[in-house]
Chains A and B, each alone.
Chain A
Amino acid sequence: MKDLISNLNKVFESRIRLGIMSILMVNDSFDFNSLKESLSVTDGNLASHLKALEDNELIKVNKQFIGRKPNTSYAITEKGVHQFKQHLNALEILIKTR
């Protein structure tokens, strides 16, 4: 049981981070504004959660210009996929053993 809990990733504890990771698991990339809208959060709030995930190398940032407008999009890293899957497995086992 101890081992199981340790598989539950602390990084994914907030609903917003969980949402970001879920979206990036199934989309090749997602831009900042679409994320903001999907998660119904403020700019600052979203930015801080994105930063935390980025610092953990779970997601990567891609900044580019579309015409003259800057566009920031995010994608999941291999490490992110791996850790998110582990987190899902841990959740699954937790539900089953209850």
Chain B
Amino acid sequence: MEKNPSSADELKTIRKFMEESTKFLSLSGLSGVFPGIFAIAGAFIAWLLILDKGNFTYEMYNSLPREATAALRWKMILDALSVLLLSLTAAFYFSFRRANKSGISFWTPASKRLLLNLFIPLITGGIFALILMIQNDIQLIIPVFLVFYGLALINAGKFTYNEVFYLGIFEIITGLISAFFPAQGLIFWILGFGILHIAYGLLVYRRYEA
């Protein structure tokens, strides 16, 4: 039997177990930095290879019939999906590694709840964006990505570091502003998925891992 701990120690223990059992604290900052880098790379590829170094503008897209732009849409989807896949892989890998290093398991009730709460709004946004794409309503696709992603982060933020919540707020603001500038989609993509992710990732990394 253990010795009777002091009241202050006892309260500390209670607090520790309450926090650890509800929050996933192995989220790595690098899980933010790498998706940010991939997002910028994806935007660069889109600009260079799909949009002919920016010579193919939003106005030109709109002046063309739907059939003429089908190939471009597919390339964009492929590009975005590659970024998503690489980002998810990196996000999982670095958090998995961090959990392993500190000897904590990655699959905890808290991490499952985090993922569930992240993916419900995220998948909703993804399907919604796909519908917009099918309807050839492309001007709101990037705002939808950013806003739904922001909502997903706010939802998931309850189960991990607070910073995730604030990243979500910034994503939503970026998304709403981007709705006013449909021709500048790539810029907002870089801002929201690139710069914000990298800034958030470095901040979290320095705060909890360095």
Please tell me the size bucket of the interface on A.
20 to 34
| CB of B69 within 8 Å of the partner chain | no
Report A-chain residues with C-beta under 8 Å of the C-beta of B21.
Answer: 22-23, 26-27, 30, 38
What is the bound-complex CA distance between A31 and B110, given in angstroms? Answer: 12
Contact in complex: B13, A27 (CB < 8 Å): no
As a 0/1 sequence over residues 21 to 48 of chain A, the CB contacts with chain B under 8 angstroms (1 = contact) are 1110111001100100111000000000
Find out whether the CB atom of B1 lies under 8 angstroms from the CB atom of A18.
Answer: no
Is the CB of A13 closer than 8 A to any CB of chain B? yes
In the bound assembly, the distance between CA atoms of A98 and B6 in angstroms comes to: 12
Residues of A within 8 A of B14 (CB): 18, 21-22, 88
Given contacts A13-B4, A14-B2, A34-B109, contact A95 B18 (CB under 8 A): no
B residues contacting the other copy or chain, number (CB 8 A)? 20
Q: Encode contact with B along A56-83: 1 for CB under 8 Å, 0 otherwise.
A: 0000000000000000000000000000
Residues of B within 8 A of A (CB): 1-2, 4-5, 7-8, 10-11, 13-18, 20-22, 105, 108-109
Binding site for B on A (CB under 8 A): 13-16, 18-19, 21-23, 25-27, 30-31, 34, 37-39, 88, 91-92, 94-95, 98
Q: Nearest 10 A-B pairs (CB), nearest first?
A: A22-B17, A23-B21, A22-B14, A91-B7, A94-B7, A19-B17, A26-B18, A22-B18, A95-B7, A26-B22
